[in-house]
Structure 1
């Protein structure tokens, strides 16, 4: 009697998929090096989740798959992985609002956190063409009903994009809507959001708006992370609005901080360059020199490079080579950004900073040992 060749069939069920999903997420913290193991596990899970046909489980796995793609899509710059990541997150958003009773709340939160990171990346970190980003934001708007949680994500991203393009009237309109939802709900640190908006307004030359954006944080109306140098964002707004004493105090409390965002470093460098405090500026420059010399490849590093170049120009011959290199990097990135934006805003703004005149001949600063 001929032997029958039997094909082994693997039965996929929701319980085993859930266990494998938990194990896959654990790889994110236990597996050394790049996240290939996590991505491989999530890709296998995605195939089985599709075969199972359980929409709630498929949603959870898609969220995990999108996260697993992040290293390749963003940090390694793979256009293919970025396209896959966007596609996964789009499907997640559609499901979360079409079937809200089936979408696990913790995974909805993870989905929007990832979207916030991706949007921040393609707007400021590795900028993509403005029109392409607008289309993505428009699509998200269609899938996120007004008044639901997380609409703040789309609005905040849109404000950053329009600020990048110099569309001040549109930035104002969006900011009014965001203020109506203030403070932002779950998934956001209101103090960090306020600081980022203050930096946006400063770069647009709207210094009173920058101060107003950070007012709730400084007044203690929202929880504040004391490790973040929030006040550093207001150095130039304070100077431009005649509040030099407050600018000096804010500088003194924050200039020795390490690990701060480029926007704050840029503010410290510009403050020193434009108040006759070039020696203090050297301290700030040396503290962050490794990051500044690492290259100009984002909106924030563009502004930091320009502020550092301004300071180097005030310092004289010994800093000329560094200043020229940073000047060229900032101008080149601004030109690239203008091509992506379809405007001339970045070049004009960076040009103005590179040639900014002093606001004070010599603004006295406290001794470094005085608190």
Structure 2
């Protein structure tokens, strides 16, 4: 076993986040260091392993490694130093000791006493000691906790105090326990805008703030903290106790679906919880969420629990899982209380399980709320006032009012007449004909309410009664409405009713021109059954002069039919005519329908996007949404279309509000497929507006609905791309893998150019995370893909960046070779593209200078830096010139210090 192997393993481990993979490498490094007999190296590796265990969700293992390093240090402080590291690790040890009920409390106090002795001996502030004495007191419910808290806050911070994020977070929890929420917010205030690099921040303070905001009624801020913190917590097993707080938040805010989603996602983590305390808190919060679900009538629903050991994976009913988790949480709490000699943990667990909601519902995002209401309609004028029917006692006169309705604007008076009819009918028994007419009206009321089965039943009975009374005109009017509703409800046999009505009114023309209405319904039935040619044939039978009022309706149906037959241009022209006629008749509902359809057509056809400015589409939809009676699916569609139009007009920030309303409306109406696809557009709008957190969350919501064999491959890839870019902007490590996944999809398509681009993006994320060795591999893969795609510029750039990443990862020889490959690749750049050749040549010269300077070859480094200055200056790239001149000056300074020795490092 060589020492070099140990250093290589530790170098690789340094590039990994805390977790099993990192821990395995450090454990291997320790075995090799021990085998090599290098005690000092093993000591340093063991310190690193203690951290790996603590932050990698295995704190129990850290006790042994910490005890060994502390003993080695005490045995020979001169040989085994790292005093600061050991004193720092003592804090985590104290904290972890309380999390295992089988470890006697005396041991925790003994470590605390030893910690205080060592801090005093080293001349350090006791601020951290008071912090952890307070934490232990809080855990056991010791009345001394406030006193320790006061000493903690009063003591001076020093280099052993917790970081600028973790220290206030700890204070906040003490204040939260005491119900001092405003003080907790004051403690957090300085942290909110600070740059925090600790692995536990900012998600730690955000989780604490979530509770503070919730308890002080700042619900929107609480939801924001939940969303931001949980995105980080959800990837880390060590954060299981924090995830429990997010579960509790969901249970207290009416977010049961979100809570069940989180619970199911992490349920398997219970089997490998970092410690019993985290398992207890997660089980208690899970029982709260499940209890809410059971109370809402979902006790028989199931959650998927993964396999563990000999237990197979299974779907567990909500009620059964709730009982199991509650029992587990209370059992663990009893163990802690027995160890602590108090009832503190049992009381907390019961309070969590039995907690009452703080708010009925706290929306987690804008599109999770109910859609906005339509504008209030303008006050009705005297002629439209429905109150005039209140004085009418003649049943026939009231029914005649309802028969005279011609448009949606008459509905208010029509409904008032029906209500008055019902009132009068309690005193005056209607005749059979009057009763049949009222039943026909009841069908209209049910149709307007959206009760299709109820409307069909009412009309069937009304038609039967009209037949018995010999009222054939009325019967066929009812059959026409009945047939339309049946076809719209998926019953093609309704076409027989529609045809019968047309045949009757053709043979027996009515004075009110009801034939036109019957023909329009028949044409609509053909369209519903995807028979546009038949619909056009029916429409050709309409004589506009027979009923000029119906002209906009006829053109609207004709436009739909023409578009379905592929005659889009003609259909668009007819639709514009329908819109103009509806406006001229002052029929806003008809105009809105035509404007919406026209906007949809213009927004869907690629060639029209260039010919029709998005502003025209937006103006059409403005008209639609200004109509108060536009509600339900029509309003949802209008918001969605306007959002898409604004997005295509490169106005993503403006598009967000409409897309939010569209998603909310489709979701509220149960149209989940429409909502899913509009979410993809909303995610794109958030991304374009620079709202990366919202973009990632909305795209993640949409992804399950568009992925898979029955999904939408284009929408799926769009979602994945948005997620990857949003994660990159948020600094999330998952972005690297997301881009690799996109590269895999591009490879399936045979698109090497796209594959190179996505590998490039992944490498960029990795190097920003200081995972330079892996970044170098990704850049090298990108260079190969660019080469196969015939993109010499991408190849040169990727080779150069791969070389620099190898330098930063400590492999200077590989960096040298990589720079040689990058310079050789310059020959593939097109000769006619002089500026690009000069730019890339200067970049390579600049980075070669950095490699040479880093490895002590200063004269050669100066030569390359000078060449970079000349190249950038010839292009007028002043910023690049200044950077190259700065590098050249640094190299010159180093040469001045070592004029005779070019081998000395810069």
Alignment partner, residue 757 of structure 2: none
CA spacing shift, 1:178–1:148, aligned 2, 3 Å: farther
Q: Following TM superposition, by how much is the alpha carbon of 1:346 offset from its aligned partner in structure 2, in angstroms? A: 0.6
The answer as to whether partners of 2:253 and 2:359 remain within 8 angstroms in 1 is: yes
Alignment partner, residue 242 of structure 1: 217
2:184 corresponds to 1:185 = no
Measured in 2, the distance between the counterparts of 1:196 and 1:247 equals 18
The answer as to whether partners of 2:63 and 2:93 remain within 8 angstroms in 1 is: no
After superposition, what is the alpha-carbon deviation per residue over 1:193-222, rounded to whole angstroms, capped at 9, x for unaligned?
3334434544565544543443321253x6
2:306 corresponds to 1:307 = no
- 1:200-211 aligned at under 5 Å gives the runs 201-202=175-176, 206-211=180-185
Question: Which protein has the larger Cα radius of gyration, Structure 1 or Structure 2?
Answer: 2
RMSD: 4.0
**TM-score, with normalisation over the residues of structure 2?**
0.32
Alignment partner, residue 253 of structure 2: 275
Measured in 2, the distance between the counterparts of 1:254 and 1:71 equals 22
Which protein is richer in helix relative to its size? 2
The answer as to whether partners of 2:112 and 2:133 remain within 8 angstroms in 1 is: yes
Alignment partner, residue 108 of structure 1: 83
The answer as to whether partners of 1:274 and 1:357 remain within 8 angstroms in 2 is: yes
Alignment partner, residue 244 of structure 2: 266
The answer as to whether partners of 1:70 and 1:85 remain within 8 angstroms in 2 is: no
The answer as to whether partners of 1:66 and 1:89 remain within 8 angstroms in 2 is: no
CA spacing shift, 1:143–1:22, aligned 2, 3 Å: farther
Alignment partner, residue 30 of structure 2: 38
CA spacing shift, 1:241–1:266, aligned 2, 3 Å: same
Measured in 2, the distance between the counterparts of 1:315 and 1:156 equals 39
Indicate which of 232, 235, 238 corresponds to 2:207: 232
Indicate which of 135, 138, 154 corresponds to 2:129: 154
After superposition, what is the alpha-carbon deviation per residue over 1:232-255, rounded to whole angstroms, capped at 9, x for unaligned?
222222222333343233234444
Alignment partner, residue 86 of structure 1: 67
The answer as to whether partners of 1:296 and 1:333 remain within 8 angstroms in 2 is: no
Q: Following TM superposition, by how much is the alpha carbon of 1:171 offset from its aligned partner in structure 2, in angstroms? A: 2.3
SS of the residue aligned with 1:145? Answer: helix
CA spacing shift, 1:249–1:67, aligned 2, 3 Å: closer
Structure 1, unaligned stretches of length 5 or more?
Answer: 1-19, 47-56, 97-101
Q: Following TM superposition, by how much is the alpha carbon of 1:62 offset from its aligned partner in structure 2, in angstroms? A: 5.5
After superposition, what is the alpha-carbon deviation per residue over 1:99-141, rounded to whole angstroms, capped at 9, x for unaligned?
xxx5887x12222233233223212367622222102211221
Q: Following TM superposition, by how much is the alpha carbon of 1:71 offset from its aligned partner in structure 2, in angstroms? A: 8.1
The answer as to whether partners of 1:63 and 1:92 remain within 8 angstroms in 2 is: no
Alignment partner, residue 149 of structure 2: 175
Measured in 1, the distance between the counterparts of 2:119 and 2:102 equals 24
The answer as to whether partners of 2:95 and 2:132 remain within 8 angstroms in 1 is: yes
The answer as to whether partners of 2:73 and 2:80 remain within 8 angstroms in 1 is: no
CA spacing shift, 1:125–1:131, aligned 2, 3 Å: closer
The answer as to whether partners of 1:233 and 1:264 remain within 8 angstroms in 2 is: no
- 1:122-161 aligned at under 5 Å gives the runs 122-124=97-99, 128-145=103-120, 148-149=123-124, 151-161=126-136
**TM-score, with normalisation over the residues of structure 1?**
0.71
CA spacing shift, 1:337–1:326, aligned 2, 3 Å: same
Structure 2, unaligned stretches of length 5 or more?
Answer: 14-23, 302-317, 369-681, 687-693, 695-906
Measured in 2, the distance between the counterparts of 1:186 and 1:139 equals 15
Q: Following TM superposition, by how much is the alpha carbon of 1:323 offset from its aligned partner in structure 2, in angstroms? A: 1.8
The answer as to whether partners of 2:105 and 2:340 remain within 8 angstroms in 1 is: yes
Measured in 2, the distance between the counterparts of 1:235 and 1:341 equals 29
After superposition, what is the alpha-carbon deviation per residue over 1:310-344, rounded to whole angstroms, capped at 9, x for unaligned?
00111121222222222122111111111221211
The answer as to whether partners of 1:276 and 1:362 remain within 8 angstroms in 2 is: yes
Alignment partner, residue 51 of structure 1: none
Q: Following TM superposition, by how much is the alpha carbon of 1:72 offset from its aligned partner in structure 2, in angstroms? A: 9.4
SS of the residue aligned with 1:148? Answer: coil
Q: Following TM superposition, by how much is the alpha carbon of 1:347 offset from its aligned partner in structure 2, in angstroms? A: 0.7
Q: Following TM superposition, by how much is the alpha carbon of 1:309 offset from its aligned partner in structure 2, in angstroms? A: 1.0
Question: Comparing both chains, which one has the higher relative contact order based on Cα–Cα distances under 8 Å and sequence gaps of 6 or more?
Answer: 1
Which deviates more, 340-349 or 28-37?
A: 28-37
CA spacing shift, 1:323–1:26, aligned 2, 3 Å: same
Measured in 1, the distance between the counterparts of 2:202 and 2:224 equals 17
SS of the residue aligned with 1:112? Answer: helix
CA spacing shift, 1:26–1:253, aligned 2, 3 Å: closer
2:349 corresponds to 1:350 = yes
Q: Following TM superposition, by how much is the alpha carbon of 1:34 offset from its aligned partner in structure 2, in angstroms? A: 7.0
CA spacing shift, 1:70–1:284, aligned 2, 3 Å: closer
Measured in 1, the distance between the counterparts of 2:108 and 2:59 equals 20
Alignment partner, residue 141 of structure 2: 166
